[in-house]
Every structure is written in C-alpha cells, then in structure tokens.
Amino acid sequence: MDLLAVSELESTYANSKEKTLFDRWITYTDIAPLFSKLSSIYQVSLLGTSENNTPIRKIQFGTGKKKILIWSQMHGNESTGTKAVFDLLNYIEKHKNDKTIQKILKNCTLVVVPMLNPDGALAYTRVNANGIDLNRDAVHQQAKESKLLRSVLDKFNPHFCFNLHDQRTIFGVEGTKKPATISFLAPSEEETRKITSGRKETMNVIIAMNNLLQQIIPNSVGRYTDEFYPTATGDNFQKLGHNTVLIEAGHYHEDYSREIVRKLNFYALLQGIFHVANEDDYKEYKPYFEIPNNQKNFFDVIHRNKKTGIDTSYQFKNKIVNGMFTSVLEQEKKGDLSMFLAHKEIFKK
C-alpha cells in the first residue's frame, strides 16, 4: 500500500491552499469566482440549480477508466470539505507534471460537485430551502439537489464516491482523550451490516487514508458506527454498487475555523484518490476495524468545580446574525461531568 510523502505535502500545501475560502460560512458567492479561474485541465459545467435557483456546478478531469465522484456541502453548514476540494484542485493544477498527479489523471476520471446545497450554505443550515435533509433523501429524492446528485451517479457510474461532511466537536476517539479530528465510515448496504465485496473495497481505501493521517495526527482518527440507514445517501449508493467513503471533518485543538482540519481533509482525500489510481487489489479490509469508534464524550468548555462536584458544560452554537457568522457559547449540562472531556477546561479554585 503506497502512501504519499507527508513531508512533501506539508512543504507544498501552503501554495495550493485556496486562500479566498476561510472559516466556516462558505456560500456559492464565495466559490463562484473560482470556477472561472480553473485551468483547461478542468471541464466545468452547470449540473442544474437548487430549489432557490442557485447554480450547482460540477467539475470533471482526468481520462482514466477508474471513475471517482466527489461531492461536498450536501449539508449547507458543513463546509470543510468544500475548502479541501478547492485546495485539491489547486494542488493538481500546480503539480500536474508530477508523477503522482500524472498517474491520477491517466488512471482516473473524476467528477466533483463542490457545493450540492447552496441554499443551505447561504442560510447556514443542514437542510435545503424546503427543509429537506439531502443525506436522508436518497430514496424518495424529493429535493431538486437530490435528483441532481442521483443523475450524476447514474450517468457517470463511478467506482468510488467520496461523501464529504463535517462532524460536531462533541466526538472523541474511543480509548483516548483526543477529539475525533477526522472520522471515516464504510456504509452498510443492509440491516445485517454484511461485509460485502464492495464494502471491503471501501474499507481498503479508508485504510490507506488512515495510514497517512496516523503519521500526522496519531490516535485522532475515528470510525462511525455502520448502522444501516435506509434513506441515507451513502448507504444507498453503496448498495447500488458505488463504493462510498464517508469523510467527516472534526475538531483539532483550537481550530474552530477548521483551517487545520481542511488541510488534513485534503491530505486524506488526495491519498484516497491516489490509492484508487494506484491499486488494483482492494482485498485488505480488516485493519479498518482497528480504527477506534467515535464516541460522544466532548464538550467545548467545562467549568470544573471540585469543591461541589457540580460541573457545567457549554457548546458553541454557530449561526448567522445580521449577515454575520457568529459563534455563541451556550450552557448544555450541569452536574457530575467527570466522565466527559472538554476542548477547554476551567477549574474553580
């Protein structure tokens, strides 16, 4: 299993980072100018429009037989993957003559939908303009955006999909005291969670991404439960034979803007694509289960009172107020919170 060189990624990332995209609130207005900046190696086209008639664009590149579909921001308030996608596009353009990128472009054809839910992105909500969670709309396809994604899937017929999300700061890595900075999932295809040949291939790609990340953020990668969700996008795409890797961007120390995590997300995504381009045997899958489970054991802040034994926890709530992104600390739980961790702890003397 070949891995990218971390030292090379670290030394070159700054020149590929899309600096016009920053922080958590990323809208279509932010990414619209970037499409015209893309070089001729990318084919940009209009996939369709959202419920509020905002453009939804796709980008295609590469000429190989291995087909990869990537989409981000199907939840409008989950933008880390979108930033990572444009970092990826910049990196491929700047390094298109490198052997690694040439192999990707030769062996793979990729389609990227950087922002599937632009209406939700503008409102900074999980759902679309009609209140539909696109990640639970794979069966009924009530939303225009869901229909567009399914049309790409059916027409392009990808071998692998990368479904990019953000997870909350409440998740930690089981058996450690670390937050889940990046988490993965190889979705189930049905209720018994059978380990099918397709899931094995999905797990194999995740193993490669995890092996790279462990060199940078050891013990900070988690694994989501593979409980089957009948209406979920990843579960249904996997069931249809399109191996779907779920990547969840989480929390890194004091990185509430998710700028460090976007870099790690980019590294994982590039490694996953490189692995698909480079690999023909996806049989190894058991190390996937060595990735620790995610667990809900973190708060953003805990006030510890050792004298009374009554602790108070707080979480940041992100919202748009008067056209500005704001983050407000709100109280969550009070009592004995000794079983919980916090990204910041304050001790009362």
**CATH 3.40.630.10 domain residues, the chain:** 6-296
β-bridge partners, 71: 113, 163
3-state SS, residue 316: strand
SS3 content of the chain, % helix, strand, coil (to 5): 35, 30, 40
- Return the pLDDT at 274: 98
Nearest 5°: phi and psi at 66? -80, 120
Task: State the Cα angle at 204 between 247 and 206, rounded to 5°.
Answer: 20
The long-range contacts involving 139-147, CB below 8 angstroms and separated by at least 24 positions, are 139/230, 139/231, 139/236, 140/231, 143/51, 144/48, 144/49, 144/50, 144/51, 145/50, 145/51, 145/56, 145/74, 145/116, 145/117
The whole-number pLDDT of residue 307 equals: 87
Strand 311-321 vs strand 324-335: parallel, antiparallel, or unpaired?
A: antiparallel
Q: Which segments in the chain show pLDDT lower than 70?
A: none
From CA 62, how far away is CA 109, in angstroms rounded?
A: 4
pLDDT at 228: 96
Q: What is the pLDDT of residue 1?
A: 86
> 142-199 pLDDT, tens per residue?
999 999 999 999 999 999 999 999 999 999 999 999 999 999 999 999 999 999 999 9
**What CA–CA distance (Å, rounded) separates 240 from 161?**
12
245: closest CA among 226, 220, 217, 218?
Answer: 226
**Quick one: which of 97, 109, 110, 103 has its CA closest to 2?**
103
List the structure tokens of 215: 């060199």
Q: Are 269 and 247 in contact (CB under 8 A)?
A: yes
Tokens found for residue 180: 């889940």
What was the pLDDT predicted at 325? Answer: 97
Question: What is the spatial distance between Cα 57 and Cα 113, in angstroms, rounded to a whole number?
Answer: 6
Q: Which two tokens stand for residue 47?
A: 């996939």
Spatial neighbors of 193 by CB under 8 A, at least 6 apart, are 226, 227, 228
* Residue-level pLDDT at 129: 98
Closest CA to 201 of 267, 245, 156: 245
The structural architecture, per CATH, of the domain 6-296 is 3-Layer(aba) Sandwich (3.40)
Residue 331: CB atoms within 10 Å? 11
Task: Give the CA angle between residues 284, 165, 314 to the nearest 5°.
Answer: 120
pLDDT at 149: 98
pLDDT in tens, 30-70: 999 999 999 999 999 999 999 999 999 999 999 999 999 99
Listed in sequence order, the DSSP H helices in the chain are 6-16, 28-37, 80-94, 99-107, 118-123, 144-156, 197-213, 233-239, 259-278
